[in-house]
Amino acid sequence: MDSILTLLIFFPLVAAMFGFLIEKEGIRAYGIAVTGIEFILSLFLWLSFDGTNAGFQFLQTTPIIADFGINYTVGVDGISLFLVVLSTFMTMIALIGLTIKKDIKNLIISVLFLEMTMVGVFLSLDVILFYIFWELSLIPMLYIIGAWGADNRIYAAIKFFLYTFAGSLFMLVGILYFAYLNQQATGQWSFAIADWHALKLPFEAQLWIFGAFFLGFAIKVPMFPFHTWLPYAHGQAPTIGSVILAAVLLKMGTYGFIRFSLPMVPDASVYFIIPVAIISLIMIVYTAMIAYAQEDMKQVIAYSSVSHMGVIVLGTFAMNSEGITGSIFLMISHGIVSGALFMLVGVIYDRRHTKMMGEFGGLAMSMPRYATIYAIMLMASVGLPLTIGFVGEFLSLMGFFRISPIMTAIAGSTIILGAVYMLTLYKRSFFGPITNEENRNLPDLTKQELSALVPLVLLVVALGIYPKPLLDPIDNSVKHMLKNMEEKSITQDAKDLLAEATRIGEAK
């Protein structure tokens, strides 16, 4: 167990290197086997994880550049554990459902390399190591969109890369500035997250660092007005690219807020609660309205994804255990549901080579299994009780209710607006008579497609009914983080808000 985190990070990379030796005919089975083993390793990590221990576990440190405090340091807590499991699970599911045949060998090798970077981001406890994995994740996704995407794939890939890379440069400035302040305060260079969490900074310095990190994370989420790259990337990306992008890569931004912004600069984070909340409300309402106006199924889900990410950000900046725990659970929920919805759009695109709602109608009669699974995922997306989508949204909104009931009421419109555009999509595509003869004899879901989608359906229902196995470890680590933030804060507003959050958390 001492090296399980290192094994989780680098096993996909080693497997990707050996993938070049595998024949094209066997590469898909090889990729599924590798991601299956990686998922089993993540489950073993979960089973070995002590849910009552709120701190980091399975720590491993190896010096890299000792004079500058740069080390290979990895660890996991309740906040990152299930994001690792989500990454390994959704990568495996994406390969199980893969239907692309063009240059499949390079595609699967790219996906395995991407999996390594995603797991590395969530397990890194050294800021430079985190930044390396963060940047490396851009390369395989750029390649996946650019090589296997639709007609305008090159433009979409470059736009994705430039937006996210520009944000990363701002974050790098913040990293270097924080490291300099840490060196001035302690006399030693260090990029260890634990050291940065313990350092108290002047309020003005916190504001600048918050802004630098905010730009990096906000573009990745993506938050308004930086969101324009995402719908275009989804529209041009192949199905497997959209699944992994929506399920995992976007969560790296919201994870960054929780791992970096809140505990490292708590006073600045409290100071910016309302401005961030206003941006989140714009994301929730504005992109929901744009989703309703779309004719393309995939674009509806893409804009819906931005809207739901707004709820995650809102819960994150609630600064209490309900909101932050709910936002982390909603990351997992959104990853499963949005990944499934993009996969479902890919299913119909493979049959008809169109995603326009006007081309369909009556699909429930010709593809009943497909229509049933689509309906379940649609209900989870809009937050129907007893589905996974309800739990995270409810907790996120309940947490922010302590900050502003009015803003929470506006944010709650995401449920109504989501129901409007999702049910409109379902009505136009699945109900009514079959007006296009090409849709009359479409084959229903194959065994391969069912093997990818049925596990997602089971998770949506099971975790909607009984989310406790995930919520308890997450909540323990969140409460621990909030207590540390309270001890580190220097302004009275932050002290009061975090003290109240800690008091309520301890009373639960």
CA–CA gap between residue 249 and residue 338 (Å, rounded) = 12
pLDDT for the residue 313: 94
The candidate with the shortest Cα–Cα distance to 305, out of 262, 243, 263, 372, is 243
Backbone dihedral angles phi then psi of residue 168, each to the nearest 5 degrees? -65, -35
Q: Is residue 91 part of a domain?
A: no
Q: Give the type of residue at 185.
A: A
Helix orientation angle between 368-381 and 388-401, rounded to the nearest 10 degrees = 10
Q: Is residue 148 part of a domain?
A: no
In sign, the C-alpha dihedral spanning 294, 298, 304, 309 is: negative
Q: How confident is the model at residue 229 (pLDDT cuts 50, 70, 90)?
A: confident
- What does the pLDDT average to over 464-491? 92
Structure tokens belonging to residue 452: 């990818």
Q: How confident is the model at residue 507 (pLDDT cuts 50, 70, 90)?
A: low
Q: Give the type of residue at 146.
A: G
- What does the pLDDT average to over 257-277? 93
- Assess whether pLDDT exceeds 90 at residue 232: no
CA–CA gap between residue 61 and residue 305 (Å, rounded) = 36
More confident of the two residues 496 and 251: 251
Q: Is residue 447 part of a domain?
A: yes
Structure tokens belonging to residue 348: 């119909």
- Is the Cβ–Cβ distance between 391 and 467 less than 8 Å? yes
- What does the pLDDT average to over 449-476? 94
Q: Is residue 54 part of a domain?
A: no
pLDDT in tens, 68-116: 889 999 999 999 999 999 999 999 999 999 888 888 999 999 999 999 9
Q: How confident is the model at residue 506 (pLDDT cuts 50, 70, 90)?
A: low
DSSP string, 15-74: HHHHHTTS-GGGHHHHHHHHHHHHHHHHHHHHHHS-TT--S-EEEEEEEEEGGGTEEEEE
Q: Is residue 386 part of a domain?
A: yes
- Is the Cβ–Cβ distance between 220 and 248 less than 8 Å? no
Helix orientation angle between 138-148 and 127-136, rounded to the nearest 10 degrees = 10
Residue 406's DSSP bridge partners are none
Whether cis (ω within 30° of 0) applies to the bond prior to 225 is yes
Q: How confident is the model at residue 354 (pLDDT cuts 50, 70, 90)?
A: confident
pLDDT in tens, 26-46: 899 999 999 999 999 999 999
More confident of the two residues 231 and 337: 337
- Assess whether pLDDT exceeds 90 at residue 130: yes
Contacts for 231 with CB less than 8 Å, ≥ 6 apart: 299, 302, 303, 306
CA–CA gap between residue 59 and residue 63 (Å, rounded) = 13
Structure tokens belonging to residue 50: 């002590």
Q: Is residue 15 part of a domain?
A: no
What percentage of the chain exceeds 90 in pLDDT?
68
Q: Rounded mean pLDDT of the chain?
A: 91
Q: How confident is the model at residue 439 (pLDDT cuts 50, 70, 90)?
A: confident
- Assess whether pLDDT exceeds 90 at residue 324: yes
CA–CA gap between residue 199 and residue 3 (Å, rounded) = 29
DSSP string, 84-105: HHHHHHHHHHHHHT----TTHH
Q: How many domains, the chain?
A: 1
The candidate with the shortest Cα–Cα distance to 445, out of 359, 358, 376, is 376
Match 């994740």 to its residue by tokens. 137
Match 């419109």 to its residue by tokens. 413
pLDDT for the residue 66: 86
- What does the pLDDT average to over 176-192? 91
Structure tokens belonging to residue 357: 């709602």
Q: Is residue 451 part of a domain?
A: yes
- What does the pLDDT average to over 320-333? 94
First to last CA, the chain: 33
Q: Is residue 23 part of a domain?
A: no
SS3 assignment, position 432: coil
Backbone dihedral angles phi then psi of residue 62, each to the nearest 5 degrees? -135, 125
CA–CA gap between residue 486 and residue 491 (Å, rounded) = 10
Q: How confident is the model at residue 1 (pLDDT cuts 50, 70, 90)?
A: low
Q: How confident is the model at residue 152 (pLDDT cuts 50, 70, 90)?
A: confident
Backbone dihedral angles phi then psi of residue 231, each to the nearest 5 degrees? -60, -35
CA–CA gap between residue 237 and residue 46 (Å, rounded) = 32
pLDDT for the residue 415: 82
* Of the listed ranges 234-238, 381-385, 462-466, 500-504, the one predicted with least confidence: 500-504
pLDDT for the residue 357: 87
CA–CA gap between residue 170 and residue 140 (Å, rounded) = 22
Its domain, for residue 382, covers: 288-465
Residue 362's DSSP bridge partners are none
* Of the listed ranges 8-12, 128-132, 488-492, 499-503, the one predicted with least confidence: 499-503
